[in-house]
Amino acid sequence: MKTFITKPSVLICLLSLLSFNTLAADERVFKNGDYWEVSSITVVDGQWLNYAKHLSTKWRDSQEFAKSKGWINGYKVIINQYPRDGEPDMYLITMFETMATKAQDDERYKAYMQWSKSTIAKLEESSGERVVMRHLSGNALMREVTFR
């Protein structure tokens, strides 16, 4: 009887060790990083310079304002070096750590409108003027992950 008790005890110990290793293997591989808001842009032929000037002035200024307020961590312009048919020419990327709450959105809107010295009507008009330069072909919200 003693041998019978010992064998199951050893077996239980081995199985518990194996299950501990399985639990350790279940640890998350990635840790979450920043959100990346990606706008896919197709530039109208003959409008690269005009759109680049817009990006280097108004767009960059508004990104720098958001960065100075801590709303975003950074931004990038990525060019699709060899776009295939139907692919965008560039991607405008804004990185931020957390999503804003509704209250934060309202506060940010007020601060941005005060900083830009603009109105909704003026912003809509400006957006309409950019249609001759580019087409927004898509948006995506992505999240960077890094290995643990």
CATH number at residue 128: 3.30.70.100
Domain annotation covers residue 93: yes
pLDDT tens digits for range 45-92:
999 999 999 999 999 999 999 999 999 999 999 999 999 999 999 999
- DSSP character for 99? P
What value does the mean pLDDT take over residues 122-132? 86
Cβ atoms 132, 13 nearer than 8 A: no
Residue 3 lies in a domain: no
> Is residue 68 a part of any domain in this protein?
yes
Q: What is the reported pLDDT for 19?
A: 52
> Helices (DSSP H) in 26-132: which residue ranges?
48-54, 60-68, 102-116, 120-130
Which residue is listed with tokens 């249609």? 131
pLDDT of residue 126: 83
Report residue 129's pLDDT band, with 50, 70 and 90 as the boundaries.
Answer: confident
| Centroid of chain to Cα 78 | 13
The verdict on residue 5 lying in a domain is no
Residue 10 belongs to some domain of the structure: no
The domain of 103 spans 30-147
**Residue 141, domain member (yes or no):** yes
Cα–Cα distance measured from residue 47 to residue 40, given in angstroms and rounded to the nearest whole number: 16
Total domains in the chain come to 1
What pLDDT, on a 0 to 100 scale, did the predictor assign at position 61?
98
Within a domain: 114: yes
Does the residue 2 lie in any domain? no
Distance between alpha carbon 32 and the CA centroid of its chain, in Å? 11
